[in-house]
Structure formats: structure tokens, C-alpha cells
């Protein structure tokens, strides 16, 4: 049995949950992290020395880092075309998957999500929000250009790369900031929203994460 440790509101847990759902793999998810706690115990730190979510256990395999977990699940349980057999084709898609995880998402989370949702609004300046939106505009335009007509990152087939590429788009579109008109990205997001697994595991309200005055303590 596969066990996921991590709260449903974590964008990194969402990568794992969406992958499991697309692959139809039976699993249990346990609420760990943030207000649920549980991530600083010796037992948890033995699974993930960073004390972050997600972690995954699959028999005698224990993993942390959402993208590594995602690729493990794909390599172990998925088939082509979702997990392309051609290594060059897979790596070419993985470039963009990795770019979203390591460039697009940090810009979205640090530049906009934290200041607009997680931080004390009194500490947030208009200037930093403008800088966050400008950087997001630059990166979102790159993703829009890469997607082209799609329908998916790899063309006609939905693949592993769409999970890493698409998991941040719920927040990208839900956050209140001025987005430029990017038709390919908007159409891609609508296609993702037509997938039941995306709606269930990624389009999850982030309101429980919103800053509360008592968080200041
Ligand atoms: N690079 C790691 C980052 C993990 C991470 O930052 N997780 C956040 C949630 S998205 C976390 O654990 N936050 C603290 C908590 O929830 O207790 C990954 O992709 O798994």
C-alpha cells in the first residue's frame, strides 16, 4: 500500500496526489505539516530530514521531494505515452516540467502567493507585489509560448510533464493579481480543469493557509 504524508493544501503534496489519481494507484493520505504538525518527530525526520511534506512510502521504498516522488511513481507504474519510452522525448518534456518546478513555481509562490495569502498584509508592499507580477508575467509568457496549440505539453498526449507543468496553475489563476492575456496558457488550464483528478487534488482552496493575526505570535 502506498502512503502519502502531507496536507491536501500543499502544492507539492498535490503533485503526488494528482499523479496517484491519474495512474489509478490505491493509496492512503495522512494529514501532516503546517497546523497538522507531525513533521518534526524523529520518525518523520528519518523519512525527510527537511521536515517538509510530502513524503511517500511504498512498501520498503521511502521518498521525499515531490518531483522525485512523481518520477518514481511514473517510472514504476506508468506506461507510454504518459511516461514516454523514448528517453530523448521524455527528457525534452522533463526540461519544461523541471523548469516549472524550479523557476515558475518559486516565482509564483515567493513573489505572489506568500505576500498575497500567507504573510501578514501589513508587511507587504505594493512595490514587491509589482515586482512579483512582473516576474510572473515574464515566466508565464514563456510557458504560453511553449504550449502553443497544445493541447498538452507533449502535443496530443497528456504526459507526466503536464502534472509538474500544470500543478501551479490553479493558484496562478485564483490569486488576485493582474495577469496578462495568454490564450494558450488559459486554454491549457481549462483543459486541465476538465480532468477530474486535477479538480479534486489541485483545485483545493488555500484559505486554510491564509495569514491570521494570531500567527504573529
Ligand atoms: N522541494 C520540496 C519542497 C517541500 C515543501 O516546501 N513543502 C511545504 C509545503 S508545499 C512544507 O512542507 N511546508 C511546511 C509544512 O507544511 O509544515 C518538494 O518539492 O517536496
Summarize pLDDT for 72-89 with one digit per residue, the tens. Answer: 999 999 999 999 999 999
Residue 111 and residue 122: Cα distance in Å, rounded? 16
> Do 142 and 172 lie in a common domain?
yes
Cα of 124 vs its chain's centroid, Å: 24
Q: Is 48 in the pocket of ligand 1 (CB under 6 A)?
A: no
Q: Which atom of ligand 1 is nearest to the CA of 12?
A: 10
What's the number of domains the chain is made of?
2
pTM score over 0.95: yes
Name the residue with the closest Cα to ligand 1, atom 6. Answer: 52
> Do 65 and 145 lie in a common domain?
no
Going by C-alpha positions, the residue among 69, 72, 60 that lies closest to residue 6 is 69
Residue 34 and residue 36: Cα distance in Å, rounded? 5
> Do 97 and 70 lie in a common domain?
no
Strand partners, 2: 27, 58
- For β-strands 61-64 and 55-58, DSSP reports them as antiparallel
148-181 pLDDT, tens digit each: 989 999 999 999 999 999 999 999 999 999 999 9
Residue range of the domain that includes 162: 87-208
110-151 pLDDT, tens digit each: 999 999 999 999 999 999 999 999 999 999 999 999 999 899
Q: Is residue 130 part of a domain?
A: yes
Residue 75 and residue 87: Cα distance in Å, rounded? 12
What percent of the chain shows pLDDT beyond 90?
A: 97
Instruction: Quote the pLDDT of residue 217.
Output: 59
Amino acid at each position: 500500500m502506498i502512503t502519502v504524508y502531507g496536507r491536501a493544501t500543499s502544492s507539492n503534496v498535490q503533485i503526488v496526489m494528482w499523479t496517484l489519481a491519474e495512474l489509478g494507484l490505491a493509496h492512503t493520505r495522512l494529514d501532516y505539516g503546517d497546523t497538522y504538525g507531525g513533521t518534526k518527530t524523529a520518525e518523520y525526520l528519518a523519512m525527510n530530514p527537511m521536515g517538509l511534506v510530502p513524503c511517500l512510502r511504498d512498501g520498503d521504498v521511502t521518498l521525499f521531494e515531490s518531483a522525485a516522488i512523481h518520477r518514481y511513481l511514473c517510472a514504476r507504474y506508468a506506461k507510454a505515452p504518459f511516461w514516454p519510452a523514448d528517453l530523448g522525448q521524455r527528457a525534452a518534456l522533463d526540461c519544461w516540467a523541471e523548469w516549472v518546478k524550479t523557476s515558475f513555481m518559486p516565482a509564483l509562490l515567493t513573489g505572489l502567493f506568500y505576500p498575497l495569502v500567507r504573510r501578514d498584509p501589513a508587511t507587504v508592499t505594493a512595490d514587491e507585489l509589482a515586482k512579483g507580477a512582473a516576474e510572473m508575467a515574464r515566466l508565464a509568457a514563456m510557458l504560453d509560448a511553449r504550449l502553443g496549440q497544445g493541447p498538452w505539453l507533449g502535443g496530443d498526449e497528456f504526459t507526466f510533464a503536464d502534472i509538474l507543468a500544470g500543478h501551479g496553475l490553479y493558484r496562478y489563476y485564483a490569486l488576485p493579481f493582474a495577469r496578462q492575456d495568454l490564450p494558450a496558457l488559459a486554454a491549457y488550464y481549462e483543459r486541465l480543469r476538465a480532468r477530474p483528478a486535477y479538480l479534486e487534488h489541485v483545485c483545493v482552496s488555500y484559505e486554510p493557509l491564509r495569514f491570521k493575526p494570531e500567527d504573529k505570535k
